Amino acid sequence: MDKLYSLYYVLELAGTFAFAISGATAARKRKLDIFGICAIAFVVACGGGILRDLCIGALPPAGLTNWHYLVVALIATALTVGFFSLVQRLNHPVLFFDAIGLSLFAVTGAQKSLAYGYNGEVAVLLGITTAVGGGVIRDILLTRVPIILEKEIYALAALLGALIVVIGDHFKWGSGGWVAIAALTVCFTLRILALRYHWDLPTPGKNDTGSEKHN
């Protein structure tokens, strides 16, 4: 299991890297200054985990104590700013790593909540929070409706991943390692398929006339 853990850690840093690139790219497009770009990149990469740690009482949040995450986020930012036109062309690889980050954060978020002794509902909700929280904070800071609420199968993939972890834990299926790998695979595959085939969740009222007022 030690090898699996090391693999986890490397993949989690890869996910952090991808999330930070997505944050830095969005901030760069909004013409924030260099501090703002670093801040948004760090928030996307670590914000979800910080929210989770606040909710389970793992204080101070790991995203603040472990400098690896901060350094990875800053390196990702430097590369994004330095090679911006390249990063924009690399949209596909970035989405690929983003899907890895999504899967890993959903699974590790659910696992950490269970490890702290909380029930399955908490683990599923905080698995989703870990995976999508950073992106939601990014969109709030950039004053746009969080994209995960508007379209794309994104949070749903995280939900499935976290759910598999919780079900596997409940029924004590084999070693946790295999359940985690299954959860990662399902979440990652669903996300990649949704990207490839443009799967969206239904949007009630999409065909309404524009005459409704926002309330």
Chain residues that interact with a second copy, rule: CB under 8 A: 25-37, 39-40, 50, 54-57, 59-61, 64-65, 67, 70, 81, 84, 113, 118-119, 121-122, 125-126, 136, 140-146, 148-151, 155-156, 200-206, 208, 212-215
Nearer to a second copy, 4 or 30 (CB): 30
CA–CA dist 3, 85 (Å, integer):
37
Nearer to a second copy, 4 or 81 (CB): 81
Closest contact distance (angstroms) between CB of 100 and a second copy is 20
CA–CA dist 50, 28 (Å, integer):
23
Give the chain's radius of gyration (CA, Å): 17
Closest contact distance (angstroms) between CB of 144 and a second copy is 6
Closest contact distance (angstroms) between CB of 134 and a second copy is 15
Cβ-proximal residues to 1 (8 Å cutoff; 6+ apart), any chain: 175, 177
Nearer to a second copy, 119 or 175 (CB): 119
Nearer to a second copy, 3 or 202 (CB): 202
Nearer to a second copy, 65 or 175 (CB): 65
Q: Specify whether the CB–CB gap between 125 and 117 falls below 8 A.
A: no
CA–CA dist 160, 187 (Å, integer):
6
Closest contact distance (angstroms) between CB of 114 and a second copy is 12
Closest contact distance (angstroms) between CB of 191 and a second copy is 13
Return the structure tokens found at 38.
Answer: 């670093």
Distances (CA, A) of 28 to 18, 45, 101, 145, 160: 15, 16, 21, 18, 32
Return the structure tokens found at 59.
Answer: 């204080």
